[in-house]
Structures are given as structure tokens and as C-alpha cells.
Amino acid sequence: MKEIVIASDNINKIKEYQHKLKSYKLIPYKELINIDPIPETGKTFRENAYLKAATLAKLLNKPCIGDDSGLVVEALPNLLGIHSKRFSKAETASSNNELLLEKLKNKKSRNAKFITVICLYIPGLEPFYYQGELIGEIVDKPRGKNGFGYDPLFYIKDKNKTLAELTLTEKNKISHRGKAIDKLKKDLDNENIDFF
């Protein structure tokens, strides 16, 4: 089985990748190397995804995928985005969600979208990028026990559910990360591209 290092220690995120990339063995980078988290100093999702994937691929001399994801909220255009994970002081999912609801209290628009950009970095090759987006809106209070991050607040109209109310299989079919992983998988499975 072909192995790819994943530049994440988020168990839930790794599950979403492994669920779609069943014919590959994803190795969390911490199983191979003991380093501090890679600083996300980029100004865009793409730059941060590159920083994570390229840094580890060069250190380990192995193919590596890194991603950066975030929530973009129409009524709060200068907040969240690449800072979504570090939105609140505590930087936890619950404190981030609480702060988001607080900031949206007097706002009319609840429109939002999730964005994921994946970087596949293979030593000796130019980096490959894959992007996925999911349109939705922010509900007034958390709903559902699945998923992670802002999933309990992110409502999808045609499902009449938040992301946290969907199963992993349901979420992975429609989510921003699921769409980006599908594009990545298409390239990985393409026999005309010699990745390994």
C-alpha cells in the first residue's frame, strides 16, 4: 500500500482523509518526526497548506499532504478565514463557536462558506493544489454531535441539517474537504501521473 504523510494531528480530519483514500496508508507526521507544529504564517489557505506539506516532505523525503481550512462569514468579512482555528483566545472549538454566535448577534446575514485547500508535495516535483468549498449559513445554537470545529453551527439548507448532524459518510460526500479530497484522489489514482 502506498504511503503518504499527512501534516495533521487532528484525529477527526485524518479520519475524513482515510475514509476517502482507502487504498493509501496515511501516516500522521507525529508518528515519524518530533517537531513543534509548523507555524501557519501564510496569508492564504493555499500558502498555509504549502508550508505544512512542503516543510514535512523536505524533512522526511516522502510525499506529504497538508491542508488549510476555514470558515468565511459574510457578516464578518475580516475575521475567521485563515484564523478560524485561532478565532478565540482559548482556541477551542466551543470557545470559537461561542465567540462566533456573539459576534453575529445583531447581524442580519448568516451566510457563510467553508473552504479547504490541500497541497500535495512530493520531493522533486512542483506542488499540486486542490480546493473545495461548501456554502451554508450559521444557525443560532449548536446542533449535532458529529464532526468538529464549527460543524455544529454550519447549516446546509438542502439537507436541513448542520454538518455535525451528518454521519461521516454523509459529510464527506458534500463537505469542502470531501470535495478537495476527491480532486486529490483523482490525481493520485491517475496512472499517467507518476507520484511514487
Q: Which helix (H) or strand (E) holds 162?
A: strand 161-162
User: How far is it, in rounded angstroms, from Cα 100 to Cα 70?
Assistant: 13
Question: Residue 36 catalytic?
Answer: no
Q: CA separation (Å) from 96 to 71, 85, 87, 130, 164?
A: 11, 8, 6, 26, 15
> Which is the catalytic residue, given 36, 68, 187, 189?
68
Nine cell digits for residue 122: 512530493
Q: Strand 111-121 vs strand 154-156: parallel, antiparallel, or unpaired? A: unpaired
Q: Which residues are catalytic?
A: 68
